[in-house]
Amino acid sequence: MDDGRIQSQISQLVAYDSIRQLVARYAWCLDTRDLDTLVGLFVEDVRVSKTSSGRTALRESFASQLRNIGPTTLFVGNHIIDLDANQPNAATGVVYCRAYIQEPHGFVEQMIVYSDRYRHEAGSWRFVGRRHELFYGIVTSEQPHAQELANWPQRSTGVGTMPFRLDSWQRFATTGE
């Protein structure tokens, strides 16, 4: 195998891993309400709606969507990544996600599939866009945030400290941004 081919394969592996990290960071940033880092995962010219684009508009959109819900936990699963052979800085992906969301009317469980577009720019892979589609969403009978504090490790059941102890969560809970 020649050195050029080996370098190409290494570059592909690095791209796959970087894109997987991008998706994992999206889940973490959304769950912790770190909106500044979250919008930084997207390209600068991200299209938010038919009439708005850019990270400032995206941040406003995320703040608006998240303002009326409580804690979320996004668990990322299957992830298919296709690098574009014709455009080495472009890729697409399909990501499964199990979401747990505290909504005003109850605790919701969702099975989501994201259809993603990625672009490598400024030394990092970023989202060009994400399309969020549901397999299903259900209100569960369990209400995990309507319990006493767990006070781990003394008690293993109850409400824990995450994400409530994080500065980003506290800022968002206080300001809604």
Domain ranges of the chain: 3-175
Task: Return the CATH number of 3-175, one of 3.40.1190.20, 3.40.190.10, 3.40.50.970, 3.10.450.50.
Answer: 3.10.450.50
Q: Find all residues with CB under 8 Å of 2, minimum gap 6, and list them.
A: none
Catalogue the long-range contacts made by 13-21 (C-beta closer than 8 Å, 24 or more residues apart): 15/81, 15/83, 15/91, 15/120, 15/125, 16/81, 16/83, 18/124, 18/125, 19/79, 19/81, 19/91, 19/93, 19/118, 19/125, 20/79, 20/81
pTM of the model: 0.93
pLDDT tens, residue order, the chain (177 aa): 577 777 788 889 999 999 999 999 999 999 999 999 999 999 999 999 999 999 999 999 999 999 999 999 999 999 999 999 999 899 999 999 999 999 999 999 999 999 999 999 989 999 999 999 999 999 999 889 888 999 888 888 999 999 999 999 999 999 998
E strands present in the chain: 72-83, 90-103, 106-121, 124-139
Using alpha carbons, select from 102, 94, 91, 83 the residue that is nearest to residue 140: 102
Q: What was the pLDDT predicted at 66?
A: 96
Q: What was the pLDDT predicted at 1?
A: 57
